Amino acid sequence: MNARTMTRMLLLAAGLLGMAPAFAQEIGFTAAVDRNAIAAGDQLRLTITLTNARERFEAPDLGGLVVVQGPFESSSFNYVNGRMSSTVSRTWVLTATKPGRYTIGPAKARIGNGVIQTEPITIEVSKGSAPPPAPAEAQGQQRGDPNLFISLVLSKSKAYVGEQVLASYYVYNRYPNVEIAKVDPSKPNGFWVEELSVDNAPREQRVVNGLPYNVTLIKQQLLLPQRSGTLRIEPLSISFIVNRSFFSRGTPVDARSNAAELTALPLPAGAPAGFNGAVGELELTVKADRAEVKVDEAIEVEVKLSGSANLKLIEAPKLQFPADFEVYDPRVADRISVGAGGMIGSRGFQYTVIPRHDGTYAIGPLSITYFDPKAGAYKTLSSPALTITVAPGEAGSASAAAPRVQRADVATLGTDIRYIRTGDMGLRRKDRWLFGSWPWFAGMSAPPLAFVLLLAWSRKRERDRADAAGMRRRAADRVARKRLREAEAALAAQDSGRFHAALSKALQGYIADKLGLGIAGITPEAMERRLQGAPDAKAIAADAARLIAACDMARFAPAGDRPQRERYDEAMNLIQRIERAAEA
């Protein structure tokens, strides 16, 4: 025994003076755990031991750890070689529900007037291999039988509209024998619900508030929020009968799960045009079963979306087919497995199309937009256009000879304003019109003016022409009168011989002067030649020759013959005719 121990024992002895301890043994007070690091849900054992004292001591502050079992007490006495030692220990079985660092505080024991305490212990709790569902105590709503209750656990508390949320209902039970009598199913409002199979769910043991429970997954649903906002999932009620045995009819126990609320976030605004409501992760494939066909042969085109998303809610995408392809409504081919991980698989849309004309056509391209909740953004998948070569149908076959064409009106896809006209715009000065402008007035007045001028000119010419004819007639009269003045005097004197001589002389002189002939050369032929241009030359010549001959005959005829007025007029007329003919 060394000096230091002696000192401590003396101190203790002084402290315990009057208490009359029967033994002067060394007092020890220790806290120990069997392990310092556990996984969440695992158990550890805390043992606090007081040696050589029989004082009470309290449980230390457990720092958040949950008591599963205990405390168990044990004590022992040893009497060895006249020395007696005693040990009192208490043991707790502890667990932790959440990972983290926990500190078990010091345990204290009051011995005499002094206080003795243990060292604090730090426990590291790591994340459990399978995260346990939140214990029912967290929901706090649990009423009724604490030995049998249902807990509803959602895989997430916030989700986008269309995102998949797993709802699990666990039955916590401490009865040895439980039967389900009646299930009152809860129908979550505002969700698309997909029931999952729970046949193979494992049973396990969990500790809640220090009590061990048998935990069974009784119901599991995949919930897809269909609208935004706070969506409430009503509790599930199950009637159980417990402890039914051969001797007992059992006791009915009604259990109700907690209700749960889910915050459904709306999809961000500004969804691209091709968004079809898919939320998750997707891949797109578009393929046709063949690229070369003949007219009227069917092609299968499949648009396949695969991945993890709300596949069952995806609608057929709008795949653009050439206008004169006959397109049937797509068949939906699903290969979707629904499990705790959500809907996984593929949804295919199979289009049957029949080209009705030969040529090269393009199907698509197709682009599909989905919402990726992990990234919180829209993502667009696109596939290039498929090229289909359509060969003409069988020559000579009935369909090729007389193709059955189903006629239909041209479908209007949309309306928009017509495009501007390109090229020359045919611009003209603003507010400048031909009507009422001076060129128009000029153009309108020019023809009447011209007409009036023409009319005036033609009138004048007419008049001039009429004047010339009268003058010529008057001149011819004058010549004839002058030439026949002697014959006229003889006519007045009733002297037949002189009258005819004068008449003949006047006529011959006139014709000779006028036509440039000698007196002897006055013959009908000569006269006719000279009057060549006149239309009645022949008649004039004949008349003139006849009149001259008649005058000559009357000159030498018996004297009783009287001068004849007719013959004078005839001569006058003849001269005028010659005048006019010569003028012409």
Q: Angle at the Cα of 121 (from 109 to 135), degrees rounded to 5?
A: 105
By the rule CB under 8 A, 395 interacts with other proteins: no
Closest distance to other proteins from the beta carbon of 466 (Å)? 17
Residue in 77, 79, 246, 435 binding other proteins, rule: CB under 8 A? 435
By the rule CB under 8 A, 420 interacts with other proteins: yes
For residue 321, give the DSSP letter: P
Structure tokens at 561: 């013959």
Structure tokens at 428: 């003209």
Nearest Cα to 300, choosing from 346, 351, 347? 351
By the rule CB under 8 A, 447 interacts with other proteins: yes
Give burial (CB, 10 Å; 0-12/13-18/19+) of 216: middle
Give the CA radius of gyration of the chain: 71
DSSP alpha helix (H) spans, 259-359: none
Pick the closer one to other proteins by CB: 176 or 426.
426
Residue in 427, 518, 556, 565 binding other proteins, rule: CB under 8 A? 427
Closest distance to other proteins from the beta carbon of 467 (Å)? 21
Q: Are strands 237-242 and 121-126 parallel, antiparallel or unpaired?
A: unpaired
| 8 Å CB contact between 349 and 303 | yes
By the rule CB under 8 A, 440 interacts with other proteins: yes
By the rule CB under 8 A, 457 interacts with other proteins: no
Q: Which stretch binds other proteins (CB under 8 A): 113-121, 404-412, 429-437, 561-569?
A: 429-437
By the rule CB under 8 A, 428 interacts with other proteins: yes
Distances (CA, A) of 104 to 40, 50, 340, 402, 435: 16, 17, 37, 94, 110
By the rule CB under 8 A, 414 interacts with other proteins: no
Q: Which stretch binds other proteins (CB under 8 A): 177-185, 453-461, 539-547, 551-559?
A: 453-461
Give residues 277-336 in contact with other proteins (rule: CB under 8 A): none
Residue in 424, 556, 558, 560 binding other proteins, rule: CB under 8 A? 424
By the rule CB under 8 A, 430 interacts with other proteins: yes
Closest distance to other proteins from the beta carbon of 316 (Å)? 31
Q: Over 167-224, what HEC string results? A: EEEEEEECCCCEEEEEEECCCCCCEEEEEECCCCCCCEEEEECCEEEEEEEEEEEEEE
Neighbours of 355 (CB within 10 A): 24
Total residues contacting other proteins (rule CB under 8 A)? 31
By the rule CB under 8 A, 454 interacts with other proteins: yes
Q: Which stretch binds other proteins (CB under 8 A): 279-287, 390-398, 430-438, 524-532?
A: 430-438
Q: Which stretch binds other proteins (CB under 8 A): 394-402, 409-417, 497-505, 512-520?
A: 409-417
Q: Which stretch binds other proteins (CB under 8 A): 10-18, 270-278, 298-306, 437-445?
A: 437-445
Which backbone phi and psi does 206 adopt, to 5 degrees? -135, 160
By the rule CB under 8 A, 422 interacts with other proteins: yes
Closest distance to other proteins from the beta carbon of 429 (Å)? 6
Pick the closer one to other proteins by CB: 273 or 417.
417
Structure tokens at 70: 């205990």
Q: Angle at the Cα of 43 (from 38 to 49), degrees rounded to 5?
A: 100
31: helix, coil or strand? strand
By the rule CB under 8 A, 417 interacts with other proteins: yes
Contacts with other proteins, residue ranges (CB under 8 A): 415-422, 424-431, 433-436, 440, 443-444, 446-448, 450-451, 454-455, 458
